[in-house]
Amino acid sequence: MTTTVDNENRLSETFAALANPTRRAILAHLARDEATVNELAAPFELTLPAISKHIKALERAGLVTRGHLAQYRPCALDASPLAEVATWAEQYRPVWEARFDRMDDYLGRLRSQRVTEGHDD
Amino acid sequence: MTTTVDNENRLSETFAALANPTRRAILAHLARDEATVNELAAPFELTLPAISKHIKALERAGLVTRGHLAQYRPCALDASPLAEVATWAEQYRPVWEARFDRMDDYLGRLRSQRVTEGHDD
């Protein structure tokens, strides 16, 4: 059975894996197509061991799976943890929408004030 | 001007700040109401300095702001970075939905196979 603690730990692992621009770029590449480690390394000024380390971090977080072809072992994206990230973030939508509404109101008031004062340029 | 590199770095900071269950619990508390450091520390078996360290990490990521009342300095949630997290994760929705559809198809085929074979129990 999956406990709340397991869920919380998995979410922490996912967020930690996503806290790096190279790892996010690897996921963007894999969203288009499977790729070998060599193909994934090509756009980056990084050594193969450095890229392999990033891929291992993504594998541990369940975001990347590896094929079983002995020589190439292509990497593929598993986006399920990202569905959990989206669900987690979406629970805060009412908070950020309320804030954006307040900013709109404030800017609206500033604008009408400028019109009233004849600064409408 | 905000560059892509700035955006990427900010997103990395947000994800790093979210990669901890205590920090996520602090955000959940602040989504309900502002709170002082003492109030935030109450539900956790953590020292005040440990909680303060978590709050500082959330402040650096722009997720928490502090009031200016000298003695209490209540903490408040700024959910704007979470809107960026949701937008970032949502771009992968087609990928996870395709995967969940394939799983549905597979389970549907398994089920109809069991019915055909007379294992429908």
Q: Could you report the per-residue pLDDT of B14-28, keeping only the tens digit for each? A: 999 999 999 999 999
**ipTM of the modeled complex:** 0.83
**Mean pLDDT estimate for chain B:** 89
Both A74 and A91 in a single domain? no
Q: Mark whether A23 and A71 lie in a shared domain.
A: yes
CB-defined contacts A:B, below 8 A: 86
B91 and B50 belong to one structural domain: no
Report the CATH number that the domain containing residue A73 is assigned in CATH.
1.10.10.10
**AA identity, residue A3:** T
B76 and B93: one domain? no
CA distance B35 to chain A (A): 16
Sorting pLDDT into bands at 50, 70 and 90, what band is B5?
confident
Residues A18 and A67 in one domain: yes
Nearest CA in chain B to A19: B12
**A47 and A97 inside one domain:** no
Relative to beta strand B75-77, strand A75-77 is unpaired
B11 and B22: one domain?
A: yes
With cut-offs at 50, 70 and 90, classify the pLDDT of residue B1: low
Alpha-carbon distance B119 to B96, whole Å? 31
Indicate whether A119 and A60 sit together in one domain.
no
Regarding whether A76 and A34 lie in a shared domain, the answer is yes
Q: If we measure between CA atoms, which residue out of B1, B24, B22 comes closest to residue B81?
A: B24
List, for residues B56-100, the tens digit of each pLDDT value. 999 999 999 998 876 778 999 999 999 999 999 999 999 999 888
Is the CB of B78 less than 8 angstroms away from the CB of A85?
no
Residue B27 sits in the same domain as residue B71 = yes
Question: Does the pLDDT at position A61 exceed 70?
Answer: yes
Min mean pLDDT across A4-8, A56-60, B2-6, B46-50 is at: B2-6
Number of domains, chain A: 2
For B79-98, the DSSP string reads -HHHHHHHHHHHTTHHHHHH
The domain in which residue A103 lies consists of 87-121
Instruction: Looking at the structure, tell me whether residues A37 and A58 fall in a common domain.
Output: yes
A10 and A58 assigned to the same domain: yes
Question: Are residues B19 and A19, on separate chains, in Cβ contact within 8 Å?
Answer: yes
Place of tokens 């004062």: A117
